[in-house]
Structure 1
Amino acid sequence: MQITLNGKTAIVTGAGQGIGKATARLFAEAGAQVVVNDRDAARVTAAVEDIRATVPGAQVSGATADLGNAEGCRQLVDQARTCDILVNNAAIYENADFFEISDDSWQTYFDVNIMSGVRLSRAYLPTMGKRNWGRVVFISSECAISTPPDMMHYGTTKTALLGLSRGLAKVMAGTGVTVNTVLPGPTLSEGVKALFEEEIRRTGTTLEEYGTEMLKTLRPSSITKRFATCEDVANLILYTCSPLASATTGAALRVDGGVADSI
């Protein structure tokens, strides 16, 4: 099975690192013209340079914009007028006591994790519909269906994406545009590595070893018994955005190592 995205323009938000960057690289390898978005200009530049260095002939550009507000979303749309594939990956997360999470923090999580995808979908979906082809993917999380008590604001926003994606798939019915959600499980992204950094130094273990031990406590239902790599998740996103996935829409697709204990 060969996936080709020649002639398609893909926008990946929050792609300066982690799952977003891995996805942007796979899109470039498949022949797409890729727009790497992040709110950090240095990360955008580094990601674009890395993809160009590792993917011969890569068609990749950067678009720095903070998608946590309407103006930032407008800035991205101004920089990237054309979009055939939209991956709404930009998100924030943290561990926090529910009783200590302020109203402002809740609002920030909704603005970044939900409204960025709402605004960009509203901007790009109409043209996709007119062309009778398009792909939109929201990056949710297994936290959407398991809601960890120490990440209530994050988990709640990821649950909302399931409803948003399903509804938009119905809005685009019969147009050739698909809308889906991908639910990663524990993944060794740069953000997760940063959370583990101090404990790794203290225990003298490798990142993979520490992650495996942490899963026993954090996600004992894991079937793979390991953290996924960013590439593991990006592989599913690539397929979902390809012409091969034309009959897959309105779906919640899990790449969680079996963490969610449901069938």
Structure 2
Amino acid sequence: MDYKLTDKRALVTGASSGLGAAIATLLASEGASVVVHGRDKERAEAVARTIQDNGGRTEVVLGDLATDEGADAVASGALANGPIDILVNNAGYYRHLTWTDASVDDWRDTYEANVLSGVRMIKRLVPQMRERNWGRVIQIGGGLAVTPMAGHPHYNASLAARHNLAVSLARELAGTGVTSNTVAPGAILVDAVKDLLTGIAPDRSWGETWEEIERDATAHLLPNDRGRLGRPEEVAGAVLYLTSPLADYVSGAILRVDGGLIRSL
């Protein structure tokens, strides 16, 4: 299937590992020229080399999007070789903290990294999309935005903000050729998640093999209709669709990739 991306340039933030790397790799495999963003030069360049080894077009930009200076550097680097048609705001982080443990500074830092990082890139790149009358803006959100748990409340709230701003942006862009949407993953099998579940499995009697741990952890923590964790490539597939001209009639939407974890009409 032709997703019509061969003449498009995409910036994927936080693309040096995990979901971001999978998204960047898939967009490149479908013909887009992809700017891989990260803060760690070695890891970002490793992702870029993998893309290039498979015939893709890519370049690397580095910078901390939690600061205005870092965002300026990333935007300048991304635009150096041409306009950006597709912005995937994936960069962010979270710490496993409770309401008791999470300080006001933790809340502030999380908001800077998970919300304002995306706002900074929207402010720097979307005006040019509007001038060209075409563009795609994707926020990577999550199910915790609408069904928050007691733990890591600062992270839950930052995801909710991402969902909210994406819809507001879609309203702002009404009548233009630019769309704004959210992809909301459930629990996805990235290295950090696997390490976490493997570490707590013995105390919870979740088995010894990864197959047993994944099955039991899913059943007890995040029960869904598929009975497993999602894979980064499955999230990337949802992003691929929304970035394509084939999704021109989709804006202000939340596309859940969670195995049916969240049940709604």
TM (norm. structure 1) is 0.94
Could you say which residue in structure 2 is the equivalent of 1:123? Answer: 124
Matches within 5 A, 1:4-23: 4-23=4-23
Matches within 5 A, 1:1-263: 1-53=1-53, 55-56=54-55, 58-81=56-79, 82-199=83-200, 204-206=208-210, 208-220=211-223, 222-263=224-265
Tell me the percent identity.
39
Instruction: State the alpha-carbon separation in 1 of the partners of residues 112 and 159 from structure 2.
Output: 12
- Give the 3 Å change call, closer, same or farther, for CA 169–257 of structure 1 in structure 2: same
163-172 vs 209-218, which deviates more?
209-218
Where does structure 1 lack aligned partners over 5 or more consecutive residues?
Answer: none
Displacement of 1:96 in angstroms is 1.2
Paired positions, count: 259
129-138 vs 93-102, which deviates more?
93-102
SS at match of 1:146: coil
Displacement of 1:197 in angstroms is 4.2
Deviation string 1:18-72 (CA, Å, 9 cap, x unpaired) is 111111011111111100001111210111112222x22x111111111122111
Deviation string 1:134-165 (CA, Å, 9 cap, x unpaired) is 00000000111111111211110001111100
Instruction: State the alpha-carbon separation in 2 of the partners of residues 175 and 23 from structure 1.
Output: 25
SS at match of 1:97: coil
Q: Which amino acid aligns with 1:204?
A: E
**C-alpha contact 1:17 1:190 (8 A) present in aligned 2:** no
Instruction: State the alpha-carbon separation in 1 of the partners of residues 152 and 68 from structure 2.
Output: 25
Instruction: State the alpha-carbon separation in 1 of the partners of residues 52 and 216 from structure 2.
Output: 36
Instruction: State the alpha-carbon separation in 1 of the partners of residues 51 and 27 from structure 2.
Output: 10
Displacement of 1:16 in angstroms is 0.7
SS at match of 1:4: coil
Deviation string 1:72-112 (CA, Å, 9 cap, x unpaired) is 11110111112100000001012211111011110010001
Q: What is the RMSD of the two structures over their aligned residues, measured on CA atoms? A: 1.5
Instruction: State the alpha-carbon separation in 2 of the partners of residues 50 and 194 from structure 1.
Output: 24
**C-alpha contact 2:198 2:213 (8 A) present in aligned 1:** no
Q: Which amino acid aligns with 1:234?
A: A
Instruction: State the alpha-carbon separation in 2 of the partners of residues 31 and 134 from structure 1.
Output: 16
Instruction: State the alpha-carbon separation in 2 of the partners of residues 248 and 103 from structure 1.
Output: 37
Displacement of 1:201 in angstroms is 8.5
Instruction: State the alpha-carbon separation in 1 of the partners of residues 159 and 28 from structure 2.
Output: 27
Q: Which amino acid aligns with 1:192?
A: V
TM (norm. structure 2) is 0.94
- Give the 3 Å change call, closer, same or farther, for CA 71–49 of structure 1 in structure 2: same
SS at match of 1:174: coil
Instruction: State the alpha-carbon separation in 1 of the partners of residues 24 and 202 from structure 2.
Output: 31
Q: Which amino acid aligns with 1:60?
A: T
**C-alpha contact 1:35 1:62 (8 A) present in aligned 2:** yes
Instruction: State the alpha-carbon separation in 1 of the partners of residues 43 and 212 from structure 2.
Output: 27
